[in-house]
Structure 1
Amino acid sequence: MAEISGGELLLRALHAEGVRYVNAITDGTYMVFLEALERLGDEMGIRLIVPRHEAAAAHFADAYTRVTGEPAVVMACAGPGAANLLSGIICAQGEGSPVVAITTTRRSDIGDAYRHKGSTQSPDHLPLFRPAVKWNSKIEHWHRIPEMVRYAFHVATSGHPGPVHLLIPEDVLAARGEESQAPVWTNAVRRLTARPPADPELVRQAARMLVEAQLVNVHAGGGAQRAGAGDEVLALAEHLGSPITNTVSARGIVPEDHPLFFAPLCMASFMAHQQADVVLAIGTRIGELSMWGQPPLWGDPSRQKLIQIDSEPTNIGLNRPATIPLVGDAKVVLGQLLEEVRRLTPRREPHPALAQLRTVQEQWQAELDKQVADRERSPMLTGQILQVCN
C-alpha cells in the first residue's frame, strides 16, 4: 500500500470538502502541504492565493464565503503569522462566515519547550483563537487529519455558521503512513442535510399577523443572504406592499434600486423599523448595527410585534422579544409564508408610508452625493475612493 504524507492527506481532505482556494503566505512549517498542492493542485482544482499579509488572507476568506455561500480556507504559520489572522477571523465570527483557519507550529518536540527561552514562533495558538471561533483544536496524530478536517467543516457550516481553527504541528504534516490508515471521504451529512421548514401552525399564525398588520417591515439579515432567500424576500414584500430593509451583511439580497428597498443605517430604514406594527426579521440577531432593535430607532416592543425567522434557535429573541418564532431555513420558511399569505390576501399596492420614506432616503443620498462630488477636498473621503473603484 502506498504511503502518503500528512501534507498530502490535508490536501485530499480539503479536496473532499470541495475547497477550490487556499489563502496563505508560504512558510516552511507547512512546506510539505505546499509541495503536495503544487504537484496535485491542478488535478484537484485547488489554487493557492498568496496575499501580502495574513490579515488580508483572512478577510479574503470571509468575503469569499459571503459571496459564494461556501466555506473558505486560510492558513498561517507559527506565531505572528497565526496571530495576524485574528482581525479577519473576528470579522468572520461577527458575520457568521464559515472560515476554516489552519495554523501550523514548529515540531512538537521544540514548540512548547522553547517558548520560555524567547522563541518568536512558539506561542500557544489555541488560547489565541479560542474567543474568536466556534471550535478550536489541535491535530496531534497524522492519521486523524481527515477526521478532524471533516469535523471542522461540519461545525463551521452547521447551525449559525462561523469560523473554526485547526492547529497542525510541522512534524504531523511531515509524517508519513499508509493511505488505508487515514481514509478520506466527503461529509455527506453536511452536504446533503435538508433545509428545515418551520412549524406549519406557527407559519399560519405568522401569515395571519402579516396580513392583518397596518404596516409590515420586511427586514433581512446575513442568514437570509446565506440561504439565498433574496427572491422570496422580494416576492413577499411586493405582495404585501411593504418596505424592505436589511442589515449591512445582507447588502445585495434584493436590487438596491427597487422602490421598496431602503438602505441600512439610513434614517428611512430606521423610520420603517419605528413605524411598522409588525417586523418580519429574517436571518438576523438584530445586533449592534441594527441598534439591538431598541427604541427610539425601533418601535416599542410592548406594542410592535416581531416575527423572527432563523435556523439557529438561540438567535431568536436574543435582543428583542419575538412574538412568533419560526425556526428553519430562511428560504424555505419564506416560501411557506408566501404561500399562506397569497392564500389569505391578493397582492396589495405599495403602502402610503413608502412615499415619506423615499423622500427621506433621497435627501440622505443627495447629501452623500454632494460630499463625494468635491474632488478637491482634503483629506479624501472613503466614499470617493469607493465611487472611483465602482
Structure 2
Amino acid sequence: MAQRRTVLTSTSTPASARRNGGQILMQQLRIHGARRVFLVPGESYLPCIDAFNEHQGAIEPIVCRQESGAAYMAEAYGKLTGEPGICFVTRGPGATNASIGVHTAFQDSTPMILFIGQVGNGFCEREAFQEIDYRRMFGQMAKWVAQIDRTERIPEYVARAFSVATSGRPGPVVLALPEDTLWGSAEVVDLPRYTRAHSHPGGADLARMAALLEEAERPLMIVGGTGWTSEAMHQLEDFAVRFQVPVGTAWRRLECFDQRSPNAAGHVGWAMTPALRQRVRAADLIIAVGTRLGEATTEGYTVIESPMPRQKLVHVYPDPGELGRVFAPTQAIVADVASFAGALAALAPARPPQRKARVEAAHAEYLASLVPLSAQGPLSLDAVAAIAADQLPHDACITVGAGNYALYPHRYRRYTGPGTSLAPTVGSMGYGLPAAISAKLEQPERTVVCYAGDGCFQMNLQELGVALQYRVGVVVLVFNNGIWGTIRAHQEREFPGRAIALSFTNPDFAALVRSYGGHGEVVECTEDFAAALARACAFADREKLPALVELRYAADGIAPGETLSGILSAALARQQISGAAHGTFAEAVPQPCGVSVAVTDPVNDRADARR
C-alpha cells in the first residue's frame, strides 16, 4: 500500500486528499501547463479519462479517430508552443499506431509526452492481453521511456518527463501507465510546475565566432531546429544585417527566419536552387544555428561534408552530445536558439563589413526562384503554389506531409516566422491534416492550409471527424494524380520503363469532405484556382468547418523544374537502351478542360528524395 508522504519542502505544495492515479496524473498535467490533450480513448487508462471531469475549462480533451492522428496533433502542438504536446493512447495497438508520431517528434526535436495504458504489474512478462515492453519498443525513438509502477510516484515521473522533453535537444518522452497504478490511490504532494533549463553562449564563444566572421569573405548562416520565438528571430536577423551575412533555412524549417528579410537566401536542402547550392558549397564559413545539419539539409552530406567540412563551421546547438557527432566543427557552441539569439545583441563588427553585394545577390537569387516556372498541362502546380502564396495572409500556417507536392509550397511561399510552417523533417506521410487541425485549435484566428498529396491525405483523412466535431475551419488542398509520384520518379530513374504497383483509385475528395459537413470543390484548370481557394477560405472562416479544394491533374512535372519524362530519358541514356525496347513512358487519356496529354506521375507522398 502507498505510504503517505509527510515531508514537505519550500517548492512542494501541500499534501492532497487521497486520489486515484488518474486524478493525480491529470492534476500534474494541469500544474505543468497542459491545456489540451489529444487522445483515442482506451479502457486501459479509464481513471485518466474520468479525471477530465475535474478539469473542465482548464484541460481540453480532443478525441481523435486514430492514434497516429492524435500523436501528430500532439507533435504539432509541441512545435507551435514549445511546450510538450500531450497524447494518450491505449496499450498495444494504440501504442503501435502512435509510434509514428513519436518518431516524428524525435527526428524533428519536438517536445512531446506520450502516455500509454499498460497491463497491471501483476500480469507483466506473461504476454498478457496487448502487453508490450515499451522500454524496448520506444528505446531508440524517445529521449526517455519509463513505466510508473507506483501510484505515489506519478508526480515525480511527470515532472521529470516535462523537464526531459524540453531540455537540451527537445524530444519525446514515453510513460507507460499500468492499470494498478492508475486505479490505485495515494496521498501525495503535487510537485510545482517544471522550469525549463536554458543553455547560454559564453563571452569567449561569441568573441571567437565574431573573429571567424571578421575573417570570412563568403559566410552563410543556416538556421533551423526548435525553440524559436519572434523575438529570437528578429534578434538573429538584426545580427545578420549588422554583419552582412545571408541566411538560409534548414530543410523544412522554413518558419525559422522571415523570408521577407533582405538577408533571406532561401531553403537549404533537397531540391534547393542550383545558385543556393553553389553558395553553400563555396562558403568559407557556415554558422549553423539550432540545426543538426542532417542528411536532407546537406543533400546527403555533400554540400557540407562529414566528418570534415570544407567550410569552416560554427555549430550552435543546445545538446553537447550532438556537437562533433557528425561534423568536426571549427567551433562548437552549446546554446539554445533563443539564448544564442539574445546574446547576439552585444556583438558589433570591429570594422564595417564589405559583404553587402554578396547578401544582395543571394537575396536576388532567392527572389528569382519565386517566379513560377513554366509547366505543361491545364493545371500548373507552380502557378497554383504561387497564387496561394500571394493570396493567403502572410502569417498563415502551411502544413504538409511528405511527397514532392510539398516542394511547391516550400519553394513559392515566403514564410514569415514561428507558426507559419509545420512540416515533418522526418518525411512522414499523413502529417498535414492532423497538424493543421492542431494549429487551428491553438490559433483559431490564423488561416491554416494543409497541402496534401492524394496518398498522403488518405493516411489520416479520418481526422476530418475531429474538424467536424470541434468546428475547426482548416483548408485542405489535395493534389490528386492517382499515383505514388515520388516513388515513380525513383522507379523511372533506377528501373526505367518498368513502372508497376504505384497507382491507386481515388474517391471523390470534394464529395467526401461534404459528408463531414465541409465545403468541397474540384479544380482542373489553373485559371479556376484563385477563386476556388478564396471560396474555401471564406467558408472555413465563416462556418468553422473544413474546406477542401481537390486539384486534379496529370502533368509531367514531378517537381519544380523537373519532369518524369526527363528522368526517364536520362535513365535510358545511361543504360544505352531505347524507350521503344522497354515500353513507353505514358499513355494518353482525357485530361481536364478537354485537353489530352500524356499521363505522367508528378506528385506523391513518400519523402524519399535523396537523389
Q: Under a length normalisation based on structure 2, what TM-score does the superposition of the two structures give?
A: 0.56
Q: CA deviation at 1:138?
A: 0.8
Cα contact 1:227–1:331 (8 A) shared by 2: no
Structure 1: give runs of 5+ residues left out of the alignment. none
SS in 2 for 1:351: helix
Task: Tell me if 1:277 matches 2:311.
Answer: no
Q: What pairs with 1:192-211 in structure 2 (closer than 5 Å)?
A: 193=197, 195-211=198-214
Q: CA deviation at 1:269?
A: 3.5
Choose which of 10, 15, 18 in structure 1 pairs with 2:30. 15
Q: In structure 1, what is the Cα distance between the partners aligned to 2:206 and 2:369?
A: 38
Q: What pairs with 1:187-336 in structure 2 (closer than 5 Å)?
A: 187-188=193-194, 190-191=195-196, 193=197, 195-223=198-226, 225=228, 229-261=232-264, 262-265=266-269, 266-267=272-273, 268-291=275-298, 294-296=301-303, 301=308, 303-336=310-343
Q: CA deviation at 1:336?
A: 3.2
The structure carrying a bigger helix percent of its residues is 1
Q: What pairs with 1:329-368 in structure 2 (closer than 5 Å)?
A: 329-340=336-347, 342-346=348-352, 350-352=356-358, 354-355=360-361, 358-359=364-365, 362-363=368-369, 365-367=371-373
Q: In structure 2, what is the Cα distance between the partners aligned to 1:107 and 1:303?
A: 55
Task: Tell me if 1:185 matches 2:191.
Answer: yes
Q: CA deviation at 1:368?
A: 8.0
Q: In structure 2, what is the Cα distance between the partners aligned to 1:280 and 1:18?
A: 34
SS in 2 for 1:130: coil
Q: In structure 2, what is the Cα distance between the partners aligned to 1:149 and 1:187?
A: 10
User: What amino acid is aligned across from residue 381 of structure 2 in structure 1?
Assistant: Q
Provide closer, same or farther for how the CA distance between residues 374 and 279 of structure 1 changes in structure 2, counting only shifts above 3 A: closer
Provide closer, same or farther for how the CA distance between residues 228 and 167 of structure 1 changes in structure 2, counting only shifts above 3 A: farther
Overall identity of the aligned pairs, in %: 25
Q: What pairs with 1:15-164 in structure 2 (closer than 5 Å)?
A: 15-37=30-52, 39-42=53-56, 45-110=58-123, 112-115=125-128, 119=129, 121-164=130-173
**Which deviations, in whole Å up to 9, do the C-alpha atoms of 1:280-320 show, x marking residues without a partner?**
11011111111278434669956521111112112223322
Which range is displaced more, 294-303 or 353-362?
294-303
* 2:574 match: none
Provide closer, same or farther for how the CA distance between residues 299 and 355 of structure 1 changes in structure 2, counting only shifts above 3 A: farther
Cα contact 2:294–2:301 (8 A) shared by 1: no
Provide closer, same or farther for how the CA distance between residues 224 and 165 of structure 1 changes in structure 2, counting only shifts above 3 A: closer
SS in 2 for 1:231: helix
Cα contact 1:156–1:163 (8 A) shared by 2: yes
Structure 2: give runs of 5+ residues left out of the alignment. 1-15, 386-403, 410-449, 452-476, 478-532, 538-611
User: What amino acid is aligned across from residue 241 of structure 2 in structure 1?
Assistant: E
Q: CA deviation at 1:88?
A: 0.7
Q: CA deviation at 1:331?
A: 2.8
User: What amino acid is aligned across from residue 33 of structure 1 in structure 2?
Assistant: C
User: What amino acid is aligned across from residue 253 of structure 2 in structure 1?
Assistant: A
Q: In structure 2, what is the Cα distance between the partners aligned to 1:330 and 1:248?
A: 17
User: What amino acid is aligned across from residue 143 of structure 1 in structure 2?
Assistant: E
Q: CA deviation at 1:347?
A: 6.9
Provide closer, same or farther for how the CA distance between residues 208 and 74 of structure 1 changes in structure 2, counting only shifts above 3 A: same
Which range is displaced more, 22-31 or 80-89?
22-31
Task: Tell me if 1:4 matches 2:10.
Answer: no
Which range is displaced more, 215-224 or 350-359?
350-359
Aligned length: 373
Cα contact 2:103–2:141 (8 A) shared by 1: yes
Q: Under a length normalisation based on structure 1, what TM-score does the superposition of the two structures give?
A: 0.86
SS in 2 for 1:273: helix
Q: In structure 2, what is the Cα distance between the partners aligned to 1:363 and 1:166?
A: 46
Q: CA deviation at 1:348?
A: 6.1
User: What amino acid is aligned across from residue 107 of structure 2 in structure 1?
Assistant: G
**Which deviations, in whole Å up to 9, do the C-alpha atoms of 1:33-86 show, x marking residues without a partner?**
11111x21225x111011111011111111111111111111110110111111
Provide closer, same or farther for how the CA distance between residues 200 and 286 of structure 1 changes in structure 2, counting only shifts above 3 A: same
Q: In structure 1, what is the Cα distance between the partners aligned to 2:248 and 2:71?
A: 28
Q: In structure 2, what is the Cα distance between the partners aligned to 1:357 and 1:21?
A: 40
Q: In structure 1, what is the Cα distance between the partners aligned to 2:20 and 2:372?
A: 60
Q: In structure 1, what is the Cα distance between the partners aligned to 2:261 and 2:230?
A: 21
User: What amino acid is aligned across from residue 235 of structure 1 in structure 2?
Assistant: D
Cα contact 1:274–1:298 (8 A) shared by 2: no
Choose which of 174, 181, 185 in structure 2 pairs with 1:176. 185
* 2:582 match: none
SS in 1 for 2:341: helix
* 1:371 match: 381
